[in-house]
Amino acid sequence: MTSTDTTLAPTRREWIALAVLSIGLGLIVLDGTIVGVALPDIVADLQMDLTDAQWVSSLYAAILAALLLSTGRLADRWGRKRLFLAGLVVFVAGSVMAASAEASGPLIGARAIQAVGAALIMPSTLSTVNAVFRGRYRAAAFGVWGAVISGAAAIGPLAGGALTEYASWQWIFLVNVPIGVAVFVAAIVVVPETRGETARPGVDVDGALLSAIGFGALVFSVIEGPDLGWWAPKAAFQIFGWTWPADAPISIIPITLAVAAASLTLFVVWERHRARNGRSALLDLRLFRLPTFTWGNITAGAVAVGEFAIIFVLPLYLVNALGMNAMGAGLVLAAMAVGAFASGAAARHVAARFGAPGTVLLGLGLEVAGVVVVALVLTATTPGWLIALPLMVYGLGLGLASAQLTGTVLRDVPVAESGQGSATQSTVRQVGSALGTAFAGAVLSVALALTLPAALSSAGITGSTADTLADSTRQSAGTTIAQLRLQGEDSALGSQTGDAVAALASGFADAAQWALVVAAVFLVLGFAGAVLLRRAARRGAD
């Protein structure tokens, strides 16, 4: 890189292009979190169970994770602007289909189409920014990119609450249409076309299949484990007319976990083989020789698990256990957005004082503190403001960490490999996002099986009635509580309804605490990774 590259100021058109790319990125990040607050209404309207609810959230991230490496390479070969535009078309089409869904199956299928579009959009945005901006301007552009991720993720619950409360849950998808059209038109005019160097021949189809199978099987295993059984089968599993019986020696889950492990191991071996033979590889494993890239991705993955576990669990708790409406839940969760926007704007100045890795470390420390306090104060009667305050602290950390982590991870990646580098980082984030929802749902399901019967027993509700209530509440992700609250003494429980609602809410709150503890553990692991990231960055600067 020449000195001219590092000092040449971007043109006005390039800054406008950054804004357009950021809005496109914000659209797909927002779609990953806007569903959370609307999920209780979707569950009730489409009569979904907890597993379906997890798939609505997780499938989006899982398909993103499965495709991003492939689309990152495609962006380098065929043109990043071209894939960005194609992704917008697919994403908007999936949004229209999601809004039109009248059952869980079509909705989950539409989410899959949205994810394909998002997989085309995401690596194209970051790699274009990495190719267009240089030196200190690149740091500023990465700051904008990271702030958009944290801000859009945090504001999603508020937007979802407002649209669900004042319109309907379908509008959380329909809102993508006018924004997507506007971004498409603007991108044609201002976004430059860039490509990576594609000196090596061939297309790595086998690598794409192995990575998709591996990531898909892993997420499937975590989500379906509580219902199908982690070892001994709890229920039969059916797919495309084929059945894994409930009386099989073991559950299907150990098999799918083995498939995930084998596929991902073969993927690494295959990528090394293609690189040694001079063929184009989906993942250039040489990038992981860069310590900042390696530790940055480990940090990003762990943090994403924790962050999306929180986003999945808290809306269900606020709406079902505390009895808030969608707008009320959105306002509580908006505290994250307030903190994220405030610190995201200040992240550059903090980084000038402590360095980007130090800023990431500070941000993750605030995230850990915020979520631990939320977990400690969570009960069936906690006022919303008491949850919002630590969430604001958490949001402050989110803004600081996200705004600086991206630039640190890609700091040493060559421009020609920016598409693959950004796709790898985005893949790690999306794997973490999918696993965050999956882990949170799995822990919530297991915890509810323990906390709900105990809470009902303490309220004097036992026997088959208690078993039915506990199972219904667990399967419906807590929607049963909201339904009983609405029915009052007209429910089948009569005068016991109030006691049952209080007991179920208490059990749900206890289970939500366990899910947040798991989220906190992953954030702590991310903090440990950030310590090593800072150490690697300092060595690289010496």
Band of residue 44 on the pLDDT scale cut at 50, 70, 90: confident
In this structure, the number of other CB atoms found within 10 A of the CB of residue 309 comes to: 31
Q: Are 345 and 147 in contact (CB under 8 A)?
A: yes
Instruction: Calculate the average pLDDT of the chain.
Output: 84
10 Å CB burial of residue 102 (0-12, 13-18, 19+) is exposed
At 230, which amino acid appears? W
Highest mean pLDDT among 40-44, 170-174, 281-285: 170-174
Q: Are 64 and 437 in contact (CB under 8 A)?
A: no
Highest mean pLDDT among 180-194, 195-209, 396-410: 180-194
Q: pTM to 2 decimals?
A: 0.79
Tell me the C-alpha distance between 203 and 271, whole Å.
Answer: 12
Q: Computed over its alpha carbons, how large is the radius of gyration of the chain?
A: 23
- Of 1-10, 167-176, 346-355, the poorest mean pLDDT is in 1-10
Band of residue 371 on the pLDDT scale cut at 50, 70, 90: very high
> Nearest Cα to 52, choosing from 476, 444, 446?
476
In this structure, the number of other CB atoms found within 10 A of the CB of residue 257 comes to: 17
Band of residue 362 on the pLDDT scale cut at 50, 70, 90: very high
- In Å, how far from its chain's centre is CA 59? 10
At 91, which amino acid appears? F
Tell me the C-alpha distance between 156 and 433, whole Å.
Answer: 15
Tell me the pLDDT tens digit for each residue of 220-235.
Answer: 887 778 778 888 888 8
Q: Are 528 and 521 in contact (CB under 8 A)?
A: no
- Of 53-67, 139-153, 246-260, 443-457, the poorest mean pLDDT is in 139-153
Higher pLDDT pick, 123 / 325: 325
**What's the pLDDT score for residue 530?**
92
Band of residue 58 on the pLDDT scale cut at 50, 70, 90: confident
Tell me the pLDDT tens digit for each residue of 302-361.
Answer: 998 998 889 889 988 998 899 998 888 888 988 887 888 788 667 777 877 888 888 899
Q: Residue 504 belongs to what H/E stretch?
A: helix 497-541
Highest mean pLDDT among 18-22, 148-152, 385-389, 442-446: 385-389
State the DSSP string of 250-295: S-HHHHHHHHHHHHHHHHHHHHHHHHHTT---SS-GGGGGSHHHHH
Domain borders along the chain are 3-192+280-448+511-541, 204-279
What percent of the chain clears pLDDT 90, i.e. is strictly above it? 29
- Alpha-helical (H) ranges within 102-193 are 104-132, 135-166, 171-174, 176-190
**What's the pLDDT score for residue 129?**
78
Tell me the C-alpha distance between 80 and 64, whole Å.
Answer: 17
Under CATH, what is the fold of the domain 3-192+280-448+511-541? Answer: Growth Hormone; Chain: A; (1.20.1250)
Tell me the pLDDT tens digit for each residue of 448-488.
Answer: 999 999 999 998 888 888 888 998 888 877 888 888 888 88
Tell me the C-alpha distance between 365 and 354, whole Å.
Answer: 14
Tell me the C-alpha distance between 94 and 114, whole Å.
Answer: 5
Band of residue 4 on the pLDDT scale cut at 50, 70, 90: very low
Whether residue 18 is predicted with pLDDT greater than 70 in this model: the reply is yes
Highest mean pLDDT among 40-49, 75-84, 91-100, 264-273: 91-100
Higher pLDDT pick, 478 / 4: 478
**What's the pLDDT score for residue 326?**
80
- In Å, how far from its chain's centre is CA 333? 16
Assign residue 103 a region (left: φ > 0; alpha: ψ between -120 and 50; beta: otherwise).
beta
Torsion of Cα atoms, 508 then 509 then 510 then 516, to 10°: 110
Looking at residue 47, the DSSP 8-state letter turns out to be T
| Residues in contact with 155: Cβ distance below 8 Å, sequence separation at least 6, in sequence order | 30, 334, 337, 341
State the DSSP string of 351-416: HHHH-HHHHHHHHHHHHHHHHHHHHHH--TT--HHHHHHHHHHHHHHHHHHHHHHHHHHTTTS-GG
> Nearest Cα to 534, choosing from 366, 354, 399?
354
> Nearest Cα to 19, choosing from 134, 138, 180, 190?
190
Band of residue 540 on the pLDDT scale cut at 50, 70, 90: low
In this structure, the number of other CB atoms found within 10 A of the CB of residue 472 comes to: 17
Tell me the C-alpha distance between 166 and 390, whole Å.
Answer: 27
Tell me the C-alpha distance between 203 and 74, whole Å.
Answer: 9
Whether residue 5 is predicted with pLDDT greater than 50 in this model: the reply is no
> Nearest Cα to 366, choosing from 189, 188, 526?
526
Higher pLDDT pick, 273 / 413: 273
Higher pLDDT pick, 132 / 94: 94
Residue found by looking up tokens 């079902």 in the block:
320
Looking at residue 239, the DSSP 8-state letter turns out to be E
Length of the chain: 542
Whether residue 272 is predicted with pLDDT greater than 90 in this model: the reply is no
| Residues in contact with 86: Cβ distance below 8 Å, sequence separation at least 6, in sequence order | 120
Whether residue 198 is predicted with pLDDT greater than 70 in this model: the reply is no
Tell me the C-alpha distance between 389 and 207, whole Å.
Answer: 45
Band of residue 6 on the pLDDT scale cut at 50, 70, 90: very low
Band of residue 35 on the pLDDT scale cut at 50, 70, 90: confident
**What's the pLDDT score for residue 119?**
86
Whether residue 409 is predicted with pLDDT greater than 50 in this model: the reply is yes
The HSE-up count of residue 361 (CA atoms within 13 Å, CB side) is 15
